[in-house]
Amino acid sequence: MPKQVDHRERREAIAHALWRVVEARGASKVTMREVARESGVSLGQLQHYFSSRAQMLTFAMEYAADQTSRRVSQSLASLDQPPHPREVLRIAVIELLPLQPDSRVTSRMNAAYVLEALHDPQLREQVGAGLREGRSMVERVIREAMSHGYIDSTRDPVVETDLIMGLSGFASLIELNVVQPRAVFAAIDHHLDQLFAVSTSP
């Protein structure tokens, strides 16, 4: 057991090093050698944990997804229980955007991972599976909200799910300084206010 714990901790440390490379120098600099240098280990040591760049990137993204889920759970736990579905969706969207140090790194990792996946069929399937899982969660929240009268039942839950997912596109606009975070919050709240226009307690 101690060896397994140490192995996991070292892999997580390497994932954090990879994040720092992405944060400081961009996704194009994410090479095995550069991440090994940032981790303070030799290339041979890094290859003991990850046999390829794709494997290393996949683990880093899975770990980033776990951290995003943890942040979402912590934010939801601070709300009244059970949380209003509007707040669930708001938190889920905001945590995907580069608005804080942790979420900024995760957002940039997502962008790097998608670009990598476009040229790697195996990664493409993994990325697609992760996004489909996230989309399914959003659709469940919307359908439950509709069933409880928080959202007008005449709305199409599939279309509304796609629109919520589309809000994650603000990430690139924030990164490129096209829009400011305050404007993004306003746009997200405006959309959710319209979606939950019939939002009175059942």
Q: Which CATH number fits domain 53-195: 1.10.1240.10, 3.10.20.90, 1.20.1250.20, 1.10.357.10?
A: 1.10.357.10
One-letter identity of residue 110? N
Question: Which architecture characterizes domain 1-51 according to CATH?
Answer: Orthogonal Bundle (1.10)
Task: Give the mean pLDDT of 186-202.
Answer: 82
Q: Residue 33's pLDDT is what?
A: 92
Cα–Cα distance, 106 to 127 (Å, whole number): 14
- What is the pTM (predicted TM-score) of this model? 0.79
Residue ranges of the domains in the chain? 1-51, 53-195
Residue pLDDT, tens place only, 51-89: 888 888 888 888 888 888 888 888 888 888 888 999 999
**Cα torsion 83, 84, 85, 88: sign:** negative
Cα–Cα distance, 192 to 92 (Å, whole number): 12
